[in-house]
Amino acid sequence: MKRFFFFFGVFAFLLLVVGGSFAFWKLSPFIFARSASAPLIAVLGEPVRLPAPSVEGTVSLEETLAKRRSVRAFENRAVPLGHLGQLLWAAQGITLPEKGYRTAPSAMSTYPLRVYAVVESVADLPPGFYAYLPENHSLIPVFSGPAKERAMTAIRQPWILSAPVVLIITGRYEQLEATLGDTARFCVDAETGHASQNVYLQATALGLGTVSAGGINGEALKEAFSIPAEETPLYAMPVGYPKQE
């Protein structure tokens, strides 16, 4: 019996050491992200025009629905700028300019969402934090530098570690409250779901993968990137080429 407890104790100790080391290895980027992150530079530069979105794909809607999966591991491979633009257009792009209608339905066409891109590895686009402008299908650079390291302090999801780009969806509840009252929150949250599903399907059609992550420290994210106070971060969607296990 003593030998049993001895070996059991040794096994438990080794399990604790190995498990603890693995957990530290996986979580250390989050723990040390703020101290290791180089300072971001506020730029607010000229808009970056994105390639015109395509409205005719080579993959059917039915196929994208059948193949859509949540992807949490990504290849170390840059995303083409055109693909990023297509994803942003799928989330909030304008489809009827004369009326301002967008790809995702919105209560009373108020469109309270905003989409940002945390860029680490996108072809022909420097790393940084960008805001998407649906009106002219462009990106406004807000910060320049290793933005994903800063994002890791607020998005407590390990799968953003390998993502070359992370989309952030925010919503403005107050924009609808005056008109819709208590239903405003539901409408904003529902619209976030519409937009994120569009991103899922568009990513699938482009051979990319994504996952919707709601585990966000909204206040920390707003502080990290100077997101306006009236906006509430709702979803983070890491995007990249799925890693083949």
CATH number of the CATH domain containing 157:
3.40.109.10
For residue 185, what are the CA distances in angstroms to 63, 113, 168, 234, 236? 33, 12, 18, 11, 18
Residue 187 tokens, joined: 């409408």
Which amino acid, residue 241? Y
| Predicted local confidence at residue 44, as pLDDT | 67
Residue 12 lies in a domain: no
Mean pLDDT over 70-82 rounds to: 96
Which range is least confidently modeled, 37-46, 74-83, 113-122, 215-224?
37-46
Range of the domain at 184: 37-240
The runs of H, that is alpha helices, within 77-217 are 81-92, 147-151, 174-180, 184-205
Residue 27 forms part of a structural domain: no
State yes or no: pLDDT of 10 exceeds 70: no
Percent of the chain at pLDDT > 90 equals 69
Domain tally for the chain?
1
Q: Which of 38-42, 44-48, 71-75, 176-180 has the lowest mean pLDDT?
A: 38-42
**pLDDT per residue as tens digits for the range 149-208:** 889 888 888 888 999 999 999 999 998 888 888 899 999 999 999 999 999 999 999 999
- Strand, helix or coil for residue 209: strand
pLDDT band at 46 (very low <50, low <70, confident <90, very high): confident
Work out the number of other CB atoms within 10 angstroms of the CB of residue 67: 13
More confident call, 136 vs 39: 136
Looking at residue 244, its pLDDT comes to: 83
Number of neighbours of residue 185 by Cβ within 10 angstroms: 15
**Side-chain half-sphere CA neighbours of 103 within 13 A:** 25
In a domain, 210, yes or no: yes
Q: Which distant-in-sequence residues (6+ apart) come within 8 Å of 14 by Cβ?
A: none
- CA–CA distances in Å: residue 212 to residues 75, 93, 144, 167, 236: 18, 19, 25, 9, 6
In a domain, residue 6? The reply is no
Q: Looking at the domain assignment, is residue 3 inside a domain? A: no
- Domain assignment present for residue 18? The answer is no
Angle at 22 between CA 18 and CA 24, to 5 degrees: 115
Please tell me the distance from the alpha carbon of residue 115 to that of residue 191, in angstroms, as a whole number. Answer: 12
63 inside domain: yes
Closest listed residue to residue 188, CA positions, set 227, 242, 137, 235: 235
245 located within any domain: no
pLDDT value of position 157: 84
Local structure of residue 160 (DSSP, 8 states): G
